[in-house]
Structure 1
Amino acid sequence: MTRDDVPADFTRALDRDAADILRYLERRLGAEDAADALAEVMVAAWRRADAIPADPEQSRMWLFGIARNVLANTRRSEQRRGKLADRLRATLTAARAGGAPADEGLEVRDAIGRLAPDQAELVRLIHWEGFAVAAAGEILGISASTARTRYQRARADLKQALSVSSAATGVSNSMDR
């Protein structure tokens, strides 16, 4: 539907009632989220513009009904996000409780952090996230051969950095796999 296809009743209703709907949403969501919710109301109303009542009071009620539905959807989404955040917190807490000490692997993380940013991210994707070299390259937007070359260079740089570090502390490195 183009602007020319939108019924005049719809345009008039939005012009007339948008400020009231915004205030309605602000009172329920706060000023920060109300504008986004109003945009959702307008999109939902625009999709059904051919169903808007011709009577001004009825069209106002119709728009407020849509706003009420947008509020309900927003609240459900917030509840789902909250529950997901709670589950993630519980999972992370459980993982930390059974995990390695916080300083384990600190030398390796520091050495990775000293690599060039593109090499460091490649190493992290491969070793921490479990991606194959070609897949990590795809994520980074580089060819598989470029990823292999960068990875080999990163391994050599890390091996050098860790051998210097381990010589000082007497620790063997884990990059010799």
Structure 2
Amino acid sequence: MTRASRPEPADRLSEVLTAVAPDLLKYLQRRVNGADAADLLAETMTTAWRREHLLPGEPEQARMWLYGIARNTLLNAERSERRRLRLADRLRSMLAVHHDAVGQPADTGGEVRDAIERLEPHLAELIRLVHWDGLTLVDAAALIGIPASTARGRYQRAKQELREALGSESIGTDGGTFDARHNAGAIS
């Protein structure tokens, strides 16, 4: 074969991938579920394209090169899954310890939660960030991506709507109250 008739590496890789992809998919499906196998095959192909300059010239070597990439992709996915599971276990343990230390509130606040759920979504999120997550209005505004002055106006509107919904002048989600003094120093 002369140099002029030799296919370009990208064309060769396309040919090899077309021929080997069904076998690679079966290889991966025997090791993981179908949806994950398809994702891993896509990742294998992406890696092969990034490294096409390393594609062996002999067809069987090219096939085994792709199997090696698929195997490494599978091993990386398994390591990632183990790390994810360990992290989830640690978080569950931390939350269980925190839950045991805090205990259940005397009042579960179902009525307040329902009233918050009935607010417009952007108002409900602001109330949750301030009262449930303990953020200042300035921090909540930054997180949501709005000016602090806008957050102040929305917060006042949300408090008023909650007062009306609950029929009270002073209401709380966790024993605290929604009053004009909450975070007053946080917004100047």
TM-score where L is the length of structure 2: 0.79
Q: Are 1:20 and 2:23 counterparts?
A: yes
Quick one: distance in 2 between partners of 1:114 and 1:61? 59
The within-5 A match list for 1:77-156 is 77-102=80-105, 103-156=107-160
CA-atom RMSD in angstroms: 2.4
Indicate the percent of aligned positions where both proteins have the same amino acid. 50
Match of 2:66 among 63, 80, 93: 63
Q: Which deviates more from structure 2 when the two are superposed, residues 99-108 or residues 45-54?
A: 99-108
**Secondary structure of 2:37's aligned partner:** helix
- Per the TM alignment, residue 93 of structure 1 is displaced from its structure 2 partner at its CA by 1.3
State whether residues 24 and 70 of structure 2, in contact with CA within 8 Å, keep that contact through their aligned partners in structure 1: yes
Aligned residues: 169
Quick one: distance in 1 between partners of 2:50 and 2:82? 26
Q: Which deviates more from structure 2 when the two are superposed, residues 135-144 or residues 124-133?
A: 135-144
TM-score where L is the length of structure 1: 0.83
Determine the structure 1 residue equivalent to 2:177: 174
Unmatched 5+ residue regions in structure 2?
A: 1-7, 183-188
The one-letter code matched in structure 2 to 1:125 is: L
Quick one: distance in 1 between partners of 2:161 and 2:176? 13
Determine the structure 2 residue equivalent to 1:50: 53
